[in-house]
Amino acid sequence: MDESVRSEFILGGQRSGKSRRAEEAARQWMAAESAHRAVMVATGQAWDGEMRDRIARHQLDRAARVPGMVTVEEPVALADALRRHSAPRTLIVVDCLTLWLTNLLMPAQADETLDEAAVIAAGEALCRAIADAPGPLVLVGNEIGLGVIPMGREVRQFVDLLGRLNQCVAATCERVTLMAAGLPLVLKGRI
């Protein structure tokens, strides 16, 4: 990651190259100086066999592409994880904000469900943690609002909340990059 940029938000569709770009930023960060570290804060949860396999595959691939990057799993308390792990010589990669929002809206325990106001407050707390982080950050999220208006109240609510979260994170980060077909388009900040 370019040391002149403290925070970058990378968003795009599925398989657009978002995670690969974030991993490359971490690899470059660690290669730049022996004292640099990188921590991946993973938000995905293994709800079923396919997701367990997907997570295991991502872990193996990431270990090969970015040796030495530590992985921390945090599906819900993301702002706390940033406060805990951020340091001037530690780059934090968060992958991904879309799964984090899903975890807030559809928790493992039905009695932990947050209402819309609490989800919005969690997003605002995350943006404050991003702004206050002493070290560099790369956050990954999906852009899903480019299609037709979805049918169903819950899906529309999710799209609306993700759009709101993406806007908050984009406003907070110094650089925002949209990925499409593995190619970056810088929307905010320098290349």
Residue type, 21: R
**What is the number of structural domains in the chain?**
1
- Structure confidence by residue, pLDDT tens digits, 156-188: 899 999 999 999 999 999 999 999 999 999 999
Q: Is the dihedral of CA 90, 39, 123, 111 positive or negative?
A: negative
Q: Is residue 1 part of a domain?
A: no
Tell me 88's DSSP state.
Answer: T
pLDDT band at 114 (very low <50, low <70, confident <90, very high): confident
- On whether residue 2 sits in a domain, the answer given is no
- Residue 54 falls within a domain, yes or no? yes
* Three-state DSSP class for residue 39: strand
Q: Which domain holds residue 74?
A: 7-188
Among candidates 180, 174, 106, 100, which has minimal Cα distance to 143? 180
In this prediction, residue 145 carries a pLDDT of 84
Q: What is the CATH number of the domain that holds 15?
A: 3.40.50.300
**What does the pLDDT read at residue 138?**
98
Annotated active-site positions, please?
A: 58
How far, in Å, CA of 123 to CA of 15, rounded?
24
Residues 6+ away with beta carbon under 8 Å from 155 = none
Residue with tokens 């293994």: 46
Q: Is residue 80, in this structure, part of any structural domain at all?
A: yes
CB neighbourhood size of 142 (10 A): 18
Q: Which residues pair with 7 in a beta bridge?
A: 137
Average pLDDT, the chain: 92
- CB-CB contact of 43 with 74 (8 Å): yes
pLDDT tens digit sequence for 24-53: 999 999 999 999 999 999 998 888 889 889
Convert the pLDDT of each residue in 68-111 to its tens digit: 999 999 999 999 999 999 999 999 999 999 999 999 998 766 66
pLDDT of 142: 96
Tell the burial category of 70 from Cβ atoms under 10 Å away from its Cβ (0-12, 13-18, 19+).
exposed
